[in-house]
Amino acid sequence: MGLFSMISNHRSKNRFRRMEQRNKKHASTRTEYLLNDKTPFNVTEAFRNLKAAISVSVPKKSEGVVIMATSAYPEDGKTTVTANLALMFAVSDAKVVLVDADIRKGRIARYFKRKSTPGLSDYLSGQASLSDVVHRTRANENLSYITCGTHSPRPYELLESDEMKNLIEELKKYYDYVIIDTPPILVISDALALTPIVDGAVLVCRHEVSYVSDISRAISTLRFSKANILGVIVNDFKESSVRKYGGYGNKYSYGYSDGYGYAPSAETTEEDKKA
């Protein structure tokens, strides 16, 4: 092993340890949050603007519009953004179904205080009917959801299956928007199974947490799979940081948990921070 590879590997391992510790600390205080009457105006307005931007990017069709959300790594707030985006569409009198396609570690059920089974994986494997897995919410009568279901050893194959394609086509008949929450795209490839059947994809990153280089890699991965990228959503944005540093600069880092079985690459270097 060359000197450069040894240094790279050492830095990568240290970075992995730091990010793992940060994510464990964050996970202990993580909550599932849905917009409500007590939500600050600026937060609600941000989601309203996001909904409007996506509506313009993908106009309504005779059948429902299908949108998937992903992130580069876990802990970017992707599921919270996705769930509240679906709720905002529902508030605007659109019929919406939110689908949890993170079969490995889906969290949509927690937002609605429900068990995750039966859900998507159970339907796709023939263990449940559509009526068994589609649930209405108390948050808004226009919003329904499908939880991730029973954990499966082959989630990619389920998401790539004809059953998944048929499910999406069926949902499009009854809903104006089908919004799919998918796993982080740089950790596992499950989300790529869905790019051929969605009308657009959004990438969620976290202010002062996501590395610019990782955002770039995630966008490249989506482009390679021929996804229609609608944009990047910056979550947890802090204006005070921008004023302090005069812009984003290189104040980015990323965090990930080991729940998806990800291991850091030996090629990861400090250059990632300079993107």
Residue-by-residue DSSP string for 147-195 = ---S--S-HHHHHHSHHHHHHHHHHHHH-SEEEEE---TTT-SGGGGTG
| 152/125 Cα distance (integer angstroms) | 9
Residue with the bigger pLDDT between 28 and 187: it is: 187
Specify the DSSP class assigned to residue 141: T
What is the domain partition of the chain in residue ranges?
3-274
pLDDT of residue 147: 97
Considering only CA atoms, which of 164, 203, 224, 163 is closest in space to residue 68?
203
Tens digits of residue pLDDT in 124-174: 999 999 999 999 998 899 999 999 999 988 999 999 999 999 999 999 999
Residue 249 pLDDT > 80, yes or no?
Answer: no
- Pick from 58-62, 73-77, 175-179, 249-253 the range whose average pLDDT is largest: 175-179
Cis? peptide before 40, omega within 30° of 0? no
Q: How far apart are CA 255 and CA 73, in angstroms?
A: 7
Domain 3-274 architecture: 3-Layer(aba) Sandwich (3.40)
**CB burial of residue 246 (10 Å; 0-12, 13-18, 19+):** exposed
> Does residue 32 contact residue 107 with C-beta atoms inside 8 Å?
yes
24 pLDDT tier (thresholds 50, 70, 90): low
Distance CA 112, CA 272 (A): 37
Kindly calculate the radius of gyration of the chain based on its CA atoms and give it in whole angstroms: 19
Q: What does the pLDDT average to over 212-217?
A: 93
- Proportion of the chain above pLDDT 90, given as a percent: 67
**pLDDT class for 179, splitting at 50, 70, 90?**
very high
